[in-house]
Structure 1
Amino acid sequence: MQTTDYQQLVEAVGDAVVVCDAAGAIIVWNDAAVRMFGFTRDDALGKSLDLIIPERQRGRHWDGYNKSMATGQTRYGSDVLRVPALHKDGRTLSIAFTVAMLYDDARKVTAIVAVVRDETVRWAEERQLRVRLAQLEAAAAPASTLT
């Protein structure tokens, strides 16, 4: 049976792969994460996820993160999360990601991995379509008449 080179796998995928230890420090940051967020590996490795989490989302994020670390479970294992994130240059990104818990042999949580996709362009296009649809619906609505 052939073994898998997981480092090569993480680098080969087009989505960002970010792994954080139980305390929330970044321990894996692939090339796609560098491209997506603008932070180099040196910028990211060993740093807090606050690097890419907008300040207004941090409290909610850390509440959920710490609960997941304590319980060894996440409610987002199979669900795609869509949240804002920060690029190194200060702009906001719209990202979508899934997460998975990583465990040691004793089933203690050691880390969490996120596979992240930048959906900023798609989200902006959908927003423009919703605005245009609302405009068309408003234009097509019959004018109300006074009786």
Structure 2
Amino acid sequence: MQTTIDLDQLVAAVGDAIIVSDSEGKITLWNPAAERIFGFTEEEALGKSLDLIIPQRLQARHWEGYEKTMQTGQTRYGNDVLKVPAVHKDGRALSIAFTVALLHSDSAPEQVSGIVAVIRDETSRFQEERNLRKRIAELEARTGA
């Protein structure tokens, strides 16, 4: 027995942020988890540039890669999990991990029409790992290891 899946319900229910952007990098989908992670409501995010969540110092590099992906129809990241900094609405730094997938136009399947990112907030885990590495370094320094 095959069950029909309500994709809108699925996108709204998942715990990871799902963000879709068009070929120009404008946000076209922003699920409730994206609002929880980044602090922007759907109304504040839709139609805006991805710069909304990208640290300013990384924006030029991001757009260089984004435009190349749109032109070539290929991403060098494939199924890799990317770990990068991001920005919350209140200005605080976040550490996120995400995967990307290319979306293709129905009328021209060889043409990329957008990108979907599935994003998880890794800020607390990143901080815990940083604290553990610092503690290990302190212990090694004390023991001469």
TM-score tier, shorter chain, comes to over 0.9
Q: Percent identity?
A: 64
Aligned to 1:120: 123
Q: What TM-score do the two structures reach when normalised by structure 2? A: 0.95
Aligned to 2:143: 140
Asked if 1:35 corresponds to 2:40, the answer is no
* 1:124-144 residue CA offsets vs partner (Å, 9 max, x unmatched): 0000000000011111117xx
Tell me whether 104-113 or 41-50 shows the greater mean CA deviation: 104-113
Tell me how far 1:16 sits from its aligned partner. 0.3
Which amino acid counterpart does residue 50 of structure 1 have in structure 2? D
Tell me how far 1:2 sits from its aligned partner. 3.8
Q: Which runs of 5+ in 1 are unaligned?
A: 143-147
Which amino acid counterpart does residue 78 of structure 1 have in structure 2? N
Aligned residues: 142
Aligned to 1:18: 19
Tell me how far 1:75 sits from its aligned partner. 1.3
Q: Which runs of 5+ in 2 are unaligned?
A: none
For 1:77 and 1:17, locate their aligned partners in 2 and report how far apart those are by CA, in whole Å.
Answer: 17
Aligned to 1:80: 81
Q: What TM-score do the two structures reach when normalised by structure 1? A: 0.93
Which amino acid counterpart does residue 136 of structure 1 have in structure 2? L
* 1:108-127 residue CA offsets vs partner (Å, 9 max, x unmatched): 11110000000000000000
Tell me how far 1:36 sits from its aligned partner. 0.3
* Runs of 4+ with >2 A deviation: 1-4
Tell me how far 1:77 sits from its aligned partner. 2.3
